Homo-oligomer: A and B are copies of this chain.
Amino acid sequence: MLKVNTDLPIKQNYRDAMARLGAAVNIITTDGPAGRAGFTASAVCSVTDSPPMLLVCLNCASSVHPAFSQNQVLCVNTLASGQEELSRRFGGKTPMEERFAGHQWSVLDTGAPVLDGAIVAFDCRIQRVVNVGTHDVLFCEAVAVARNDGEHHGLIYFDRRYHQLSAY
Contacts and interface: CB of A to CB of B under 8 A. Distances in A.
Interface of A: 1-5, 10-11, 13-18, 20-24, 26, 42-55, 57, 78, 106, 108, 114, 116, 118-122, 128, 130, 132-135, 137, 139, 142-150, 154, 156, 158-159, 163, 165-168
Given A18-B120, A156-B158, 19 more contacts: A10-B145, A11-B50, A11-B52, A14-B142, A16-B147, A17-B145, A20-B78, A21-B78, A22-B22, A22-B154, A45-B55, A45-B57, A50-B134, A51-B133, A53-B132, A55-B137, A128-B132, A154-B159, A159-B167
Contacts of A116: 1-2
The 10 closest A-B pairs by CB, nearest first: A14-B52, A2-B146, A17-B120, A43-B45, A13-B145, A17-B145, A22-B24, A48-B134, A48-B135, A22-B154
A53 B132 CA distance: 9
